[in-house]
Amino acid sequence: MTSDCRQLLFGQAERFSMSIALYDLGHDEREIERLQLQATIIAGVTRRLIAECRIAPGMRVLDLGCGAGDVSMLLAEAIGPSGSVIAVDREPRAIEAARHRADAAGYRQVDFIIGSDQNLPVSGPFDAVFGRYVLIHQQDPVAFVRHAAAAVRCGGIVAFHELALDVMGHSSPPLQLFERICRCLREASRALRPHYDIATRLVACFEDAGLPAPHLLWESLAGDHASPSLRLLALTYRSMLPHIQRLGLAPADDGDPTTLGDRLAADAAALRAQIVPIPQCCAWARRT
């Protein structure tokens, strides 16, 4: 056992310094609704990551940037009543919603904490640390992964699920409105987030943080005109529109934003299009 591992395992509780994700779309009711739709769509991907990295009953897991608690509850399913999840987010409204939802679902093994972006007191070590859509919001993703790994015991799991925003969604045959929306959102993401492309750089990110090269999962959740991904795309565009306008980018759509989802679905149905949204990229490694 290395001296670093011995210090982590047998030392006093650490003060875990990190920057919990600076989320740029707010936490109003409409955005929480969008986040919950998103969580429903990508839940299967996250479950596959949890299974792949072998988060198991009885484990103690740290969930970073937990938002409204969707990942926390998926982790609670995996670790069972004998395990525990410490879930952290900087936004009080998100934590309040997460506590209510987890309590209603009967997950008593999840403890939700409002964490600052400076000093987050947590008692380590954990068996695993998990984050979904958090690295993309960080000023320094490598430092974030390094700090996350420091909270995990030697041999423990470090896992992240990210969105590959630098890879365009597409349709076959091409749908002009769909592709304009995807292109506009990519331009806005590039301007807003310094590491919008982190999902395609996770190998280097993990290695630069002192971890082994991660195992990777890559999925695109393809569908047809009935795919909920089209509604999610419309809601995301609506949430991003103030940023698009502030940045001086050309809006992708001049129509009523409240009907955008219906118009996208109608275009896809008319051409019997196959929709391939932005890919999901997952990475995990064990701390050595």
What pLDDT tens digit does each residue of the chain (288 aa) get? 343 443 433 332 344 444 444 455 555 677 777 888 999 999 999 999 999 999 999 999 999 999 889 999 999 999 999 999 999 998 898 899 899 999 999 999 999 999 854 455 466 799 999 999 999 999 999 999 999 999 999 999 999 999 999 999 999 999 999 999 999 999 999 999 999 999 999 999 999 999 999 999 999 999 999 999 999 999 999 999 999 999 999 999 999 999 999 999 999 999 999 999 999 999 999 999
Q: What are phi and psi of 219, to 5 degrees?
A: -135, 140
Compute φ and ψ for 275, nearest 5 degrees: -100, 130
- The answer to whether 267 and 273 are in contact (CB under 8 A) is yes
Return d(Cα 85, Cα 282) in angstroms, integer.
20
DSSP string, 143-202: HHHHHHHHTEEEEEEEEEEEE-TTS--EEES--HHHHHHHHHHHHHHHHH-TTTTGGGGH
Helix, strand, or coil here: 96?
Answer: helix
The contacts of residue 3 (CB under 8 Å, 6+ apart) are none
200: closest CA among 182, 183, 216?
Answer: 216
Q: Establish whether the linkage from the previous residue to 125 is cis, with ω within 30° of 0.
A: yes
Domains of the chain in sequence order: 3-166+194-220+279-286 (3.40.50.150)
Q: What is the pLDDT of residues 31-70, one digit of tens each?
A: 777 888 999 999 999 999 999 999 999 999 999 999 889 9
Taking alpha carbons only, the member of 33, 91, 41, 38 closest to residue 66 is 91
Closest CA to 224 of 270, 181, 180, 268: 268
